[in-house]
Amino acid sequence: MKRHQDSGSYRPDEAFARDLDSQDELAEFRRRFHIPRRSDGSEAVYFCGNSLGLQPTGVDAAIREELEDWARLAVDAHFEGRRPWYGYHEIFRDSNARLIGARPRETVMMNGLTVNLHLMLVSFYRPTGDRFKVLMEDCAFPSDTYAVRSQIRYHGHDPDEGLIVARPRDGEHTLRTGDIETLLDERGSEIALVLLGGVNYYTGQLFDMARIAAVARRQGCVVGYDLAHAVGNVPLDVHDWDVDFAVWCTYKYLNGGPGAVAGCFVHERHGATEDLPRLAGWWGNDPSRRFRMHLEPEFRPFGGADGWQLSNPPILAMAPLRASLEIFDEAGMERLRDKSLRLTGYLRYLIDRVNDPRVDVLTPRDERDRGCQLSLHVRERGKELFRALQDDGIVGDYREPDVVRVAPVPLYNTYHEVWRFSETLQRWSRGG
């Protein structure tokens, strides 16, 4: 990975931002996305890829091909289409593996994120009398918390007792890795499962997933990660980190479209274990037996992550991912991460120059502990700042009670857009 621009060499003038854009080797990828437009026809500044990524221009053709095969071939498109539907989910194996640092058979695209999380919890949350607790981070994504609490309750335990929440120190916004390690050392014998977000949705903190996983596994804990805000954002290596499972959505940094099909990783040491508890469905069955239907009443899971599938792939919902993942394969995560560090570093530099005492950046300053997103804690007039951004055509999001999240995405955002954000922040700070 290239060394990112040192903050001491940044400048606050517009010409500097334009110069950075002129040197950007990834600039061409912006043209492969539909950029939202304002009412006057100008392009919006879209800093909300951490919530919903932009549509790749190739999506229309990808969906149209499947519609044409459906019209032309009907049921025969399962085996005779340009991309036969029977094995459609297999198209994504290699791209998924590259994005999360896995082996192809360890990944599968299926369902939605929380559905996949429940399927993983059925298999990997196996509480006992002495070890039934789940460790999560403070301000975890709510759906993860709901899923975990419901699973703890389903197994006959009180969720208030069964859920351990790792919280920052007083006066701090994010977690220290050492504090998580200490918690695991002290209470690891009680913890059945560690479930963390790879990047926390609220603060934008990137966790040291390798280090945490190593400590957790030494304590005998199962380790799972929600990679919704990490995949396509930061480099991952879940196989070598020895993670048991991971889940993620594809509509944020992976630009799969609203409610797009989610992803799932199961480490290969579990993939061939047929007697591992799981919920079963016909698409997880061994393909050689799948169409024997009622002649094979016993479920025999296919090896690898495919064995956790329930239903046949939703082709029209998966087609947009072809267009997006092709772009990731072309750009490469190393180059994307390099640009992301420079974009967020430049944004942090400009926010620091505004120097408004009402604005704190929750996201860690150290680039190793963050991805694309910076979360601004605005103690006064936060909604007014958010409206000012909207009025200037800058799309971010607001999280109650007082946080503005912005995410410069390296595939389609520019340094000049970061500069424009700082100009709006400056005017708001001056009361303009």
**C-beta of residue 62 within 8 angstroms of C-beta of residue 322:** yes
In a domain, 309, yes or no: yes
Residue-level pLDDT at 159: 98
Dihedral (CA of 176, 179, 183, 184) sign: positive
Is residue 283 located within the same domain as residue 392? no
167 and 301 fall within a common domain: yes
Q: DSSP readout, 354-398?
A: H--TTEEE-S-SSGGGB-S-EEEEESSSHHHHHHHHHHTTEE-EE
Whether 40 is in a domain gets the answer no
In a domain, 277, yes or no: yes
| pLDDT reported for residue 20 | 97
Report the distance separating Cα 89 and Cα 95, nearest Å: 11
Instruction: Give yes or no: residues 240 and 378 share one domain.
Output: no
On whether both 130 and 94 belong to a single domain, the answer is yes
Cis peptide bond upstream of 410, omega within 30: no
Residue 209 and residue 302 in one domain: yes
DSSP type of residue 198: S
Residues 383 and 319 in one domain: no
Closest among 261, 229, 264 to 244, alpha carbons compared: 264
pTM of the model: 0.95
At 313 the pLDDT is: 95
Q: Which of 312, 328, 344 represents a domain boundary (last residue)?
A: 328
Pair 26, 335: CB distance under 8 Å = yes
In a domain, 410, yes or no: yes
In 3-state terms, what secondary structure has residue 5?
Answer: coil
The predicted pLDDT at position 298 comes to 86
Same domain, 306 and 358: no
Range(s) of the domain holding residue 134 = 63-328
Residue 297 lies in a domain: yes
Pinpoint the alpha helices (H) of 26-101: 59-73, 77-80, 93-100
Mark whether 390 and 321 lie in a shared domain: no
Residue 38 lies inside a defined structural domain of this protein: no
Which of 282, 300, 328 is where one domain is finished? 328
CA distance linking residue 217 with residue 214, whole number of Å: 5
The pLDDT of residue 295 is: 82
Based on its alpha-carbon atoms, the radius of gyration of the chain, rounded to whole angstroms, reads 23
Residue 163, beta-bridge partner list: 134
Q: Which of these three, 277, 302, 328, is where a domain ends?
A: 328
CATH code of 410's domain: 3.90.1150.10
Give pLDDT < 70 ranges for the chain: 1-8, 432
Same domain, 406 and 352: yes
d(CA 384, CA 364): 25
Asked whether the beta carbons of 115 and 147 are under 8 A apart, the reply is no
10 Å Cβ neighbour count for 387?
13
Instruction: Report pLDDT for 1.
Output: 45
Of all residues in the chain, the percent with pLDDT exceeding 70 is 98
| Whether 224 and 95 share a structural domain | yes
* Overall domain count for the chain: 2
For residue 66, give the amino acid letter. E
What is the CATH number for 205? 3.40.640.10
* Residue recorded with tokens 């946080």: 403
pLDDT tens digits for range 103-112: 999 999 999 9
236/383 same-domain check: no
- Is there a domain that residue 259 lies in? yes
The verdict on residue 42 lying in a domain is no
- Asked if 365 and 392 sit in the same domain, the reply is yes
Cα–Cα distance for residue pair 113/102, rounded to 1 Å: 18
